[in-house]
Each structure stands twice: as structure tokens, then as C-alpha cells.
């Protein structure tokens, strides 16, 4: 494993373990994954208060190892903080869940703009952080971010941060904090943790055929190209990957072991440009499936609707049944036949989701379009009839 140094000289593995996607219903499997990760030299593990059940799981699995042999990162949710007391209350719950008396890397979770930080400052978060740093209960303080470049730069300048965490991958070079923000943070001596290096899987398994063919011809995996693009950047301290199989873990470890800053060859840069245009040609909706827009008060499964729509646009009719398989996916993933459907046409345009989307998607109009494409009358009339017969309810 290659290691990079943080602001205080700690050696962090270039590949970090994003624990949110651990298969939590299979504790033994999770244990084996954590064991393999540590064995392969990964020493950075990321969780959050908001990942249901995840802090307890990660804390108990890592608790089998010497506390000094790994770095633990967790996050405080600003949306649940209304007074200074809430910072302490949530932090104590986290320590208990994690089974530790300190957190190595503590983040304000998903700051989306500068005003969100200002709100926390008015509650006294700066003093609270300083107290925690002084007592050693927090070793490094940072924030995770999904807003635009300008506010990211303002946030970087607003406190004595030890690190920050951003979404960064070759499709988002100019989105969110973007290259400008990444370089700005570096110029201020603030190292960055990267999340979504493969854009929620859309830069691996969900690549368009044209891109997959190019990768196969050039004998490089999609994960290798995506992770190497990020690890190539000297501004990056660690790339998080949400690995939930041993195969993913060993592939990503092998990639990170040979990807020092400046690793990307000219041939790979050209390949990335080719793949970027293939993706742009194929995607109708740039949803990463992050789920920040959820829950919708009216029950719309926004990411599921968009994923099915993208697959629909990229799919072909089944040779026998003459129907695009994404229609079936839409039917299942939005429970359109059930008692609590979650399909696009249920959107009442309240606008709550759009404020939370890190990609800045115009969710309401995209859902309207998606409903037109995925819920044509010929498809919905039999479904509505079926639902009425089976549940006696109209929706």
C-alpha cells in the first residue's frame, strides 16, 4: 500500500475504506472485509452518524484491533444540531457507538454552502471543536462538501481545518468543489479525502458499451482508470471506496499500490477523454444515486426513477418480449404494483429534494419527463387496474 501524509504528518493509506456500503446484514462478511482491508495496509475507515447501524458495526469490527493501528473517520449531521449542546450529545453517542474515546478524523457532514457553516458558528461550533481538539477527543477536524466552488473556497478560509472531503472523479472535474477548489485547498495546505471516485458506480459497471469496449481493447479496468485518475493528483490524501466484496477490495488495493501522484500516463489521459464523451453521449440524467434527495415526503424513489430512466435510454428492447428491460426495473424499483408506490408521477413539486441534490439536478422537471417516458398510458392503465383490484386504493 502507498501512504500519503496529512497536515500533521500521519501516514494515511492512499485507499480508504468507505464503510457506508458494507453488507450490514452479513456481519461475518463485514468482519472478513475489514480484516482483509487492514491486512492489505488500508488504515483509514470512514463512517457517519447518519449511516444507520454503521458506526456500531464499524466500531465493533475495528475494536478487535489495536486502536493505534487505524484511523477512524466519522461525521456529525448539521441537520440534527439546533444548539451547542447537540454537538456534544451527538458526539457522545458516536463515541459510544464506535466504542472509542476519540475520533481521528471528524467531519461536519455534507456542508452544502457557506450559510450552513455560519448557522453552526452561531451555535458555537468553533469553540466546541477547539475544546475537543484540545482534549484530544477529536484529532483532526474537517468537513465533507457537495456545494459549488465559490462556497468551498470560502469554507476553506473560514476555519483552521485539518482536511476536507469532496466528491471528485473525472466526470466531476469541474463540478462541485472541482479542480479549482481542490487546487485552492492544496494551496492553503489542506489535504483532501475523495468520495465518489467512481461516481457511485457509474464509472464502472454502468459505463456505456462504447466505453467498455474501449477499456477491454486497451486491457484496463474501469475501476483502475477511475481510481488512478484521482490518485494521480498530488492534492489528494486518500480515496474512499465503498468496497463490499473481497474481489473489489483486492482489485482496488492492487490499483492503489501502484498509483503514486503523477501516475497517469498520456495513453490513460486520452482514454479518459474518449470515455467522458461516450458517457456524455449516453446519459440522459447525471444522477449518481447518492440518495441525499431522499426521503421525498410523497414517497418518490428519486434515484431509482432516474437509474431506470438512464438504463431505459441506454437499453434495447428484449428480443423476445419486445420490451425494454428497464421498464421492468422501473416497475420493481418504484414498487408501482404495490400498496406504496414510489414512481415519478407522484411528485407534487414541493421542491425539497432539489435543495439537497449535490449534482444540482432539476429533479422536478426531470421527474416530469421521466414520468412521461416511463409511465405511458399503455403501461400504466393495466398497472392501475391491477392495483385497484388488489388493494382497493387509488393513487
Residues binding ligand SF4 (CB under 6 A): 287-293, 296-298, 300, 302-303, 306, 347-353, 356-359, 361, 363-364, 367
In angstroms, the CA 54 to CA 381 distance is 41
Assess contact for 192 and 165: CB atoms under 8 A: yes
Helix (H, G, I), strand (E, B) or coil at 385: helix
Contacts for 207 with CB less than 8 Å, ≥ 6 apart: 215, 222, 275, 278, 279
In angstroms, the CA 256 to CA 260 distance is 8
What is the secondary structure of 184-234 as a DSSP string? HHHHTT--EEEE-TTGGGTTTTT--HHHHHHHHHTT--HHHHHHHHHHT-T
Assess contact for 117 and 158: CB atoms under 8 A: yes
Which is closer to ligand SF4, CB of 113 or CB of 257? 113
Minimum distance from CB of 168 to ligand SF4 (Å)?
15
| CA separation, residue 235 to residues 54, 184, 238, 297, 316 (Å) | 29, 9, 9, 39, 42
In angstroms, the CA 121 to CA 390 distance is 53
Which is closer to ligand SF4, CB of 50 or CB of 137? 50
Minimum distance from CB of 300 to ligand SF4 (Å)?
4
Which is closer to ligand SF4, CB of 253 or CB of 288? 288
Minimum distance from CB of 208 to ligand SF4 (Å)?
18
Minimum distance from CB of 344 to ligand SF4 (Å)?
8
Which is closer to ligand SF4, CB of 59 or CB of 242? 242
- Looking at the DSSP bridge assignments, the partners of residue 4 are 12
Which is closer to ligand SF4, CB of 129 or CB of 287? 287
Minimum distance from CB of 359 to ligand SF4 (Å)?
4
Which is closer to ligand SF4, CB of 40 or CB of 282? 282
Helix 302-314 and helix 325-333: axis angle, to 10°? 180
Minimum distance from CB of 360 to ligand SF4 (Å)?
8
* Grid cell at residue 259: 498509483
Which is closer to ligand SF4, CB of 265 or CB of 351? 351
Minimum distance from CB of 297 to ligand SF4 (Å)?
6
In angstroms, the CA 20 to CA 34 distance is 13
Amino acid at each position: 500500500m502507498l501512504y500519503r501524509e496529512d497536515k500533521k504528518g500521519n501516514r494515511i493509506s492512499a485507499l480508504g475504506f468507505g464503510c457506508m456500503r458494507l453488507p450490514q446484514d452479513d456481519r461475518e462478511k463485514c468482519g472478513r472485509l475489514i480484516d482483509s482491508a487492514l491486512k492489505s495496509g488500508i488504515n483509514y475507515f470512514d463512517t457517519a452518524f447518519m449511516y444507520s447501524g454503521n458506526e456500531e458495526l464499524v466500531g465493533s469490527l475495528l475494536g478487535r484491533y489495536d486502536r493505534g493501528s487505524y484511523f477512524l473517520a466519522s461525521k456529525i449531521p448539521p441537520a440534527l444540531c439546533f444548539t451547542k449542546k447537540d454537538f456534544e450529545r451527538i458526539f457522545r453517542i458516536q463515541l459510544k457507538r464506535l466504542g472509542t474515546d476519540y475520533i481521528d478524523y471528524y467531519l461536519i457532514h455534507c456542508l452544502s454552502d457557506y450559510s450552513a457553516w455560519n448557522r453552526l458558528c452561531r451555535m458555537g461550533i468553533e469553540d466546541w471543536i477547539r475544546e475537543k481538539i484540545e482534549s484530544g477527543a477529536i484529532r483532526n477536524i474537517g468537513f465533507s462538501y457537495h456545494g459549488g466552488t465559490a462556497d468551498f473556497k470560502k469554507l476553506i478560509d473560514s476555519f483552521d481545518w485539518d482536511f476536507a472531503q469532496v466528491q471528485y472523479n473525472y466526470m466531476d472535474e469541474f463540478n462541485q468543489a472541482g479542480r479549482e477548489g481542490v487546487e485552492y485547498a492544496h494551496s492553503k495546505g489542506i489535504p483532501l479525502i475523495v468520495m465518489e471516485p467512481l461516481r457511485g458506480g457509474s464509472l464502472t459497471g454502468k459505463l456505456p458499451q462504447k466505453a467498455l469496449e474501449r477499456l477491454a481493447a486497451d486491457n484496463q479496468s474501469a475501476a483502475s482508470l477511475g481510481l488512478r485518475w484521482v490518485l494521480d493528483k498530488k492534492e489528494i490524501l486518500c480515496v474512499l471506496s465503498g468496497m463490499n466484496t473481497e474481489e473489489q477490495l483486492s482489485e482496488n488495493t492492487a490499483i492503489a499500490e501502484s498509483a503514486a501522484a503523477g501516475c497517469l500516463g498520456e495513453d490513460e489521459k486520452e482514454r479518459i477523454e474518449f470515455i467522458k464523451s461516450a458517457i456524455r453521449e449516453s446519459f440522459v440524467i447525471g444522477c449518481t444515486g447518492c440518495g441525499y434527495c431522499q426521503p421525498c415526503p410523497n414517497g418518490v424513489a428519486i434515484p431509482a426513477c432516474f437509474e431506470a430512466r438512464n438504463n431505459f435510454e441506454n437499453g434495447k428492447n428484449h428480443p423476445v418480449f419486445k420490451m425494454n428491460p428497464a421498464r421492468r426495473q422501473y416497475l420493481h424499483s418504484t414498487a408501482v404494483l404495490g400498496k406504496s408506490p414510489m414512481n415519478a408521477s407522484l411528485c407534487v413539486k414541493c421542491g425539497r429534494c432539489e435543495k439537497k441534490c449535490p449534482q444540482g439536478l432539476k429533479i422536478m422537471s426531470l421527474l416530469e419527463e421521466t414520468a412521461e417516458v416511463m409511465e405511458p398510458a399503455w403501461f400504466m392503465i393495466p398497472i392501475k387496474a391491477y392495483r385497484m383490484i388488489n388493494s382497493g386504493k387509488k393513487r
